[in-house]
Structure 1
Amino acid sequence: MLDIKEIYEIFKTCPRITIDSRHCPKDSIFVALRGDNTDGNLFAAKALENGSRYAIVDRKEIAVDDRYIVVDDTLTTLQDLARYHRTQMKAKIIAITGTNGKTTTKELIAQVLSQKYDTLYTEKNYNNHIGVPLTLLRLDESHRFGVVEMGANHKGEIAQLCSIVQPDFGLVTNFGRAHIEGFGSFEGVVEAKTELFDYIREHKGRVFVNIGNELMVRQSHGIGNISYAINSDKADVSGYVSQQDPCITISWASQRFSVTAQTVKTNIVGGYNAENILAAIVVGLFFEVDPQSIDIALSQYIPKNHRSQYMKTDRNELIVDAYNANPSSMEAAIRNFASLQYPHKTLILGDMLELGENTLADHTNIMKIVEEQGFDKVILVGKIFAKTQSGYTAFDNVDGLIEYLTSAPISGSAILLKGSNSIGLERLIEYL
């Protein structure tokens, strides 16, 4: 059985990894991962037929010739291969985690750094124990930076990812009540997310810290930091939302980096994204990207995947933030929507998932916040919101709401869609 260094020598001859037998680039290596309902070993032969040069498997009987590399566990091998590859690359790695805004912040930072450097970053939200190794294995000698997003739904996961990624810099966007089923409590969320700080502290790295968040400051104590914040004369970069229409314009400056007042209009909806934008600015300045290039990068960034997206249809204006939802992100989205100057506002909310024993209480609290705002119309989607007995129009699923909208279309309104991804609120776009 080959050790990881021997497998790495093979990887160097065909440095493309795939885990999908249907998509096997020529001369790639197929890694046969096992899933809850699938066994990648069964597709290894098909992967070789479709273009892969080698297949890493963990069932000996599958290996009928020398194109098969037999290991004890394919997932462990994938992670070990990524870990070893990381040690061979010179790129500086910035790791990002947090409850809300990870993907947006990751993409903004990558966009800013790419103005000056070859930068690799996590695709989509490949931020787990499989996606992170796949991201690292895309690193090559040309990359000066890697921006790696780390997600977690239980304690210990960020620590494990750090052992693979070995980041030089870290950034935690915020702490919120999400994945409580896995973390157990808000305190569990904080403990899990700050595993990144623990790694950076132990390995003498540095962190980018929002010093407007007192809990973040406490948790990052003892680590060299570069700071940002909303309206702070103590932060290395400070800024504020100077306009929303509904996309936000940020005014910012930096005494540390000798940058006088700058203003940049973005394509991002939501004042709650201001801190994510400032994070990208401070990272750019620290790595000597000039202010003009930073502003260009931020102004050109277009949100995707139904995160903080602004859309116009024939009948309405939509704010689509339907990829993820938890109590903190939903409250921020609702309050931000309420602050916008539209004559007519419609709120469409989908259930928040993975909240554990406080699920109903969290949804009921959101309803109290909604009642304070005075929206023209509120529509709820999901069985949990239905249990709050709020009196608003409610549907068990998106299909029911689609049927309703077909017979009673909404016109002339600004509409916020906010909910967990699996609720499927993005399916409503074509009916609005």
Structure 2
Amino acid sequence: MISLTLDELARAVSGTLHLADGDTPETTVSGAVDTDSRLIEPGGVFVAKPGDTTDGHRFVDAAVERGAVLAIVEHVVDAAVSQVVVADAVAALADLAREVVARVRAGGGIRVVGITGSNGKTTTKNMLARILQDEGETVAPRASFNNEVGAPLTMLRVTHDTRFLVSEFGASAPGEIARLAGLVEPDIAVVLMVGLAHAGGFGGIDSTVEAKSELVRAMRPGGIAVLNADDARVAGMAPLAAEKSATVRWFGRGERADVRADEVEVTPDGTRSTVVVGGERHELRLKVLGEHHVMNALAAIATAMALGVSAADAIARLETLELAERWRMQPLGSDRVRIINDAYNASPDSMGAALRTLAQITRPGERMVAVLGAMSELGEFAGEEHDRIGELAVRLRIPRIVIIGRDARRMYLAAVGEGSWSDEAVFFETADEAYDYLMGELRDGDRVLVKSSNSAGLRFLGDRLGESFS
């Protein structure tokens, strides 16, 4: 975090300052901000956030032991550290992020990018960060830090030397993206796609469109909107960009796109495509698995070009990216039994894309195995969408379909109903049961996809299988 006096910080969060011995209102703090006492470093600021299962106020002493010099709290705690008392710790975190980014902006030089979409946010964020880091200091979220806590924590990592802030904005209800993006008013708003991910929280696809469009509405006047030309719902946000006097840059597979791809080929070693920009053709060889990641790469390239990076440089840097993110199409195991662990998030779109990737990378003589769990937050669409994925697995002629967990049982029943027979599709209540089955079932030449939402916990099963067959 940039340097602030205790008084400046208290004013920024509308809090009341309680000084510890030796501190004054002019004492400065500049350490990292965190809500996890275990991650506090010397000079850091600890935000005591109340939680569902515990209360951050219980860990103020632990944060002080690790070197915290300030705690943001909702009530005074008996601890030897200066404290700023606020009405709402999470709201204070957002207010502090707004203040810090505003001060860095006032110094000039920083450009802010906001990314949203039903799928692909984290991969695109990582791709763009990889491109931009060669241009100058780049701050981007760790993992999927895209909610009311993670997004401000990322923003607070900027310094006066930061050239690029890449923010990832997720949401499970209307208004969340507007609040988070409103903290920084991005110069560039990137909308990847609109699908059924989290549709249950939004109340339907139309509300999801409205929620994702909040990012375009929140960007700075005269900015740039980077939009998916192939997604009609995203393309429909162009008039909102016009209202902000913003330029639209299109990415996609079709001729309309400013940055487009053709000749896409998925192999066990990665994904190849030809990127077309302004009539020039560039070969792109991603080490990341999956045809769907080409669209993420196009979005990253289009955004980087809007920031002054050439297409050739952007592509060359993308080709060095080894992995999109842990648990996202992550290759594990060995050539003998390859495990693809993609069980951090799942929606109908990403589930279908992962299954199609499995089919594309499995060569003659090898066997496809799909290990699938529930897709969360689909609301009223959950039943039919789980049915659809079970049916798709059979239509792709996947000979072993392993379904895990009660919330995914309809996927198993749909696979059976679609024509899976002779134990091609099996169901297990727990991941441990599935692991025992798979250890006896998997054989040389198997290509195994492990895919589910985070809540299903199958990412740990994927890790376990990867270690067993490494």
> What TM-score comes out, normalization by structure 2 length?
0.85
Letter in 1 for 2:97: A
Instruction: Please say if 1:35 is aligned against 2:51.
Output: yes
**Equivalent runs, 1:291-306 vs 2, <5 Å:** 291-303=311-323, 304-306=325-327
**Equivalent runs, 1:187-266 vs 2, <5 Å:** 187-200=206-219, 203-223=221-241, 224-232=247-255, 234-246=256-268, 247-255=270-278, 260-266=280-286
Identify if the C-alpha distance between structure 1 residues 280 and 64 changes in structure 2 by more than 3 Å, giving closer, same or farther.
closer
Q: Show the counterpart of 1:350.
A: 373
Q: Show the counterpart of 1:138.
A: 157
Letter in 2 for 1:93: V
Report if the CA contact (8 A) 1:108-1:277 is conserved.
yes
Aligned residues: 426
Distance in structure 1 (CA, Å) of the matches to 2:81 and 2:468? 54
**Equivalent runs, 1:12-411 vs 2, <5 Å:** 13-60=29-76, 62=77, 67-90=82-105, 91-200=110-219, 203-223=221-241, 224-232=247-255, 234-246=256-268, 247-255=270-278, 260-303=280-323, 304-313=325-334, 315-343=336-364, 344-387=367-410, 388-389=412-413, 390-391=415-416, 392-411=425-444
Q: Percent identity?
A: 31
Distance in structure 1 (CA, Å) of the matches to 2:201 and 2:158? 31
Shifted more, 310-319 versus 6-15: the winner is 6-15
Identify if the C-alpha distance between structure 1 residues 69 and 235 changes in structure 2 by more than 3 Å, giving closer, same or farther.
same
Q: Show the counterpart of 1:3.
A: 11
SS in 2 for 1:405: helix
Distance in structure 2 (CA, Å) of the matches to 1:203 and 1:290? 24
Deviation at 1:94, TM superposition (A): 0.3
Deviation at 1:156, TM superposition (A): 0.7
SS in 2 for 1:143: coil
Deviations 1:340-365 (A, max 9, x none): 45222111111111211232221111
Report if the CA contact (8 A) 1:227-1:282 is conserved.
yes
Letter in 2 for 1:79: A
SS in 2 for 1:429: helix
Report if the CA contact (8 A) 2:328-2:342 is conserved.
yes
Identify if the C-alpha distance between structure 1 residues 313 and 425 changes in structure 2 by more than 3 Å, giving closer, same or farther.
farther
Deviations 1:280-328 (A, max 9, x none): 1112222222334222211111223111223342631232211111111
Identify if the C-alpha distance between structure 1 residues 243 and 361 changes in structure 2 by more than 3 Å, giving closer, same or farther.
closer
Distance in structure 2 (CA, Å) of the matches to 1:384 and 1:18? 34
Report if the CA contact (8 A) 1:92-1:144 is conserved.
yes
Letter in 2 for 1:53: V
Deviations 1:57-78 (A, max 9, x none): 1113x25666222222222211
Distance in structure 1 (CA, Å) of the matches to 2:334 and 2:452? 20
Report if the CA contact (8 A) 1:115-1:293 is conserved.
no
Distance in structure 2 (CA, Å) of the matches to 1:222 and 1:285? 22
Distance in structure 2 (CA, Å) of the matches to 1:243 and 1:88? 46
Report if the CA contact (8 A) 1:342-1:414 is conserved.
no
> What TM-score comes out, normalization by structure 1 length?
0.92
Which runs of no fewer than 5 residues in structure 2 stay unpaired? 1-6, 18-24, 242-246, 417-424
Letter in 2 for 1:334: L
SS in 2 for 1:268: coil
Report if the CA contact (8 A) 2:102-2:184 is conserved.
no
Cα RMSD of the aligned pairs, angstroms, is: 2.2
Report if the CA contact (8 A) 1:241-1:271 is conserved.
no
Report if the CA contact (8 A) 2:333-2:467 is conserved.
no
Which runs of no fewer than 5 residues in structure 1 stay unpaired? none
Identify if the C-alpha distance between structure 1 residues 141 and 404 changes in structure 2 by more than 3 Å, giving closer, same or farther.
same
Identify if the C-alpha distance between structure 1 residues 10 and 241 changes in structure 2 by more than 3 Å, giving closer, same or farther.
farther
Letter in 2 for 1:86: V
Identify if the C-alpha distance between structure 1 residues 10 and 249 changes in structure 2 by more than 3 Å, giving closer, same or farther.
farther
